Amino acid sequence: MKVNAEDIAQKAQEMRKSGFDYLVKITAIDYVQSITVIYFLRDIGGNRDDIIEADLDCKDAWVPTIIDIFPCADWYERELSEMFGIQIRGRAARRLLLEKWDGTEPPFRKSFAWNSEYKAEG
């Protein structure tokens, strides 16, 4: 189901109360002019799956944190922030997943310059 970005946490809470007890993953799709964030939820006991989707403006991409609803959202939100450049509002932890990443340009955005001077060290 589609919701506005500001309604994601409220919808996640409603779904949690209705039996969706597991956050499978959070991901995003970059459509150049917009980004769609997708939350995959599962009701393990009821054998149901559902999604929450929100369309974001690439220039002001943000979503509220849902860590207090689904604690496992931590890594997924860090990935959204670092890899897609999506701001996670209400989130305290700022530690990067990629320690040597300077964070100047999100690598999962279609605008990422793959021939840039950034070289992974390893």
**pLDDT single digits (tens) 46-73:** 999 999 999 999 889 999 999 999 999 9
Where residue 33 falls among pLDDT bands split at 50, 70, 90? confident
Task: Give the DSSP letter string of 71-107.
Answer: TTHHHHHHHHHHHH--EEET------SSTT---SS-T
The confidence score (pLDDT) of residue 31 equals 92
**pLDDT single digits (tens) 67-109:** 999 999 998 998 898 888 899 998 776 666 665 666 667 777 7
Q: What is the pTM of this model?
A: 0.84
What fold does the segment set 5-89 form as a domain? Beta Polymerase; domain 2 (3.30.460)
Break the chain into its structural domains and give their ranges: 5-89
Closest CA to 27 of 83, 68, 104: 83
